[in-house]
Structure 1
Amino acid sequence: MNWKTFLLGTVAGFAAGYATKQILDQSSNPSPDKVLAQVKETVKKDGNIYGSWILMKPENYKKNNLDYEVYKGGITRNTEGKREQFEFVADASTGTILELNAQND
């Protein structure tokens, strides 16, 4: 085997692996970390994020007679020196926020 053939095979293998990864990333559900990042990005528009959490295992959830698989979590933010807490429910397949509820102390 010569080096050109070996190098060509290696490059082709990496290219195929990279293309496969890109296709799988586009068609798979977002990770809980990505969903949390999306929720934080939405909530931080009105104040700085102080803390956040998300349950790593999706749960079944029903809203308006529709069944979802969701992630549940929470966000704490500071707005004008006041701490606010929110709990959220986000669709596990898209990351869309289905509910965002303020928690009263």
Structure 2
Amino acid sequence: MKIRDLIIGAAVGFAAGYAVKEACAVKTVSPEKALKHVKSNVQNQIPVSGSWIHMNPEHLEKNHLQYDVYRGGLSSTEEGQTKQLDFVVDAKTGTILELDKQ
């Protein structure tokens, strides 16, 4: 066996292992993208004047299901009054799980 064949085999094995690792890795939506998604979904019903989101995901159990979520909030000014809304977004998919008025 030539050393060149051994090096090529090791390189191909390393590349295949890396490709499989990347394909299987759990990816999350960035907090900025999640916030943008929430704002775009509620903009038609509520005029959003401010927003915030926690940058670190946290664990949540809801209806016996486990989620990694981002928590955040929106501010809306309607009829001269500022109203606050809290939201919870799934960190893996960006799906809005909760949207509550305070």
Would the TM-score normalized by the shorter structure come out above 0.5?
yes
Which structure has the bigger radius of gyration? 2
- The residue that corresponds to 1:17 in the other structure is none
If the length of structure 1 is used for normalisation, what is the TM-score?
0.68
Q: Is the partner of 1:45 in helix, strand or coil?
A: coil
- Write the letter of the residue equivalent to 1:36: L
| Corresponding residue of 1:76 | 75
Contact between 1:58 and 1:71, CA under 8 Å: does it hold in 2?
A: yes
SS in 2 for 1:56: coil
Structure 1, gaps ≥5 residues long: 1-22
- Percent identity over paired residues: 47
CA RMSD of aligned residues (A): 2.0
Give the unaligned 5+ runs of structure 2: 1-21
Deviations 1:43-101 (A, max 9, x none): 21113211100000000000000000000000011234442210001000011010111
User: Match of 1:49?
Assistant: 48
Q: In the alignment, which residue of structure 2 is the partner of 1:65? A: 64
The residue type equivalent to 2:58 in the other structure is E
**As a proportion of its length, which structure holds more helix?**
1
